[in-house]
Amino acid sequence: MASKVIHAIYSDDDLLLQAVKQVREARYHIGEVYTPFPVHGLDKAMGLAPTRLAITSFLYGVVGLVVATVMMNYIMIEDWPMDIGGKPSFSYIQNMPAFVPIMFELTVFFAAHLMVITFYLRSKLWPFKKAENPDVRTTDDHFLMEVEVGNHNTRDLTEFLYQTGALEIKLIDNK
């Protein structure tokens, strides 16, 4: 992380989105953006790589489907076959239409619960973790863009950020 960063605070999400595009065009490096709600298109404007969470969710759903299939085959066919309503349990394939709701529910259950766990692990959100939010107003109604100063002139960068519509700018030394 850079030793000096500038925190530019904005009051509107559209203004922030435009400012992010201008800062990237001017070849400044944006460290992080803090917003009170998700801003549509901000990830693309910042140049972030696409997420692989959808692939992970699909794989978790497949795990749930496999667990449901193996569980029902073992319980209802191999371990304790029952004659329910005159329909004997000779094979899994013959009884599969009755198992579809269970397969669906376990697929959704595994995908949802494992995605929540993955999100918390990936975001490093542990119980009782102290918030890393640099300004409490970003949880309410303001937006903060953290720009790394690097070897740029601080005054020129500050003036540039004011021109993009920043309400307030703070120079932070991370030593």
How many residues in total does the chain contain? 175
Of residues 174 and 99, more confidence is placed in 99
Of residues 126 and 89, more confidence is placed in 126
In the prediction, which pLDDT does 2 show?
Answer: 52
**Dihedral angle sign, alpha carbons of residues 123, 126, 174, 170:** positive
Of residues 150 and 88, more confidence is placed in 150
110 close to 67: Cβ distance less than 8 angstroms: yes
pLDDT tens-digit profile of 54-86?
999 999 999 999 999 999 999 888 888 777 777
Element (H, E) at 144: strand 143-148
Domains for the chain: give ranges and CATH numbers: 4-50+131-173 (3.30.70), 53-123 (no CATH)
The whole-model pTM stands at: 0.72
* Cα–Cα dist 170/16, whole Å: 16
**Dihedral angle sign, alpha carbons of residues 169, 170, 171, 175:** negative
Distances (CA, A) of 23 to 13, 47, 82, 83, 147: 15, 12, 68, 70, 9
State the average pLDDT for the chain: 89
Give the distance from CA 64 to its chain's centroid.
Answer: 22
In the prediction, which pLDDT does 175 show?
Answer: 63
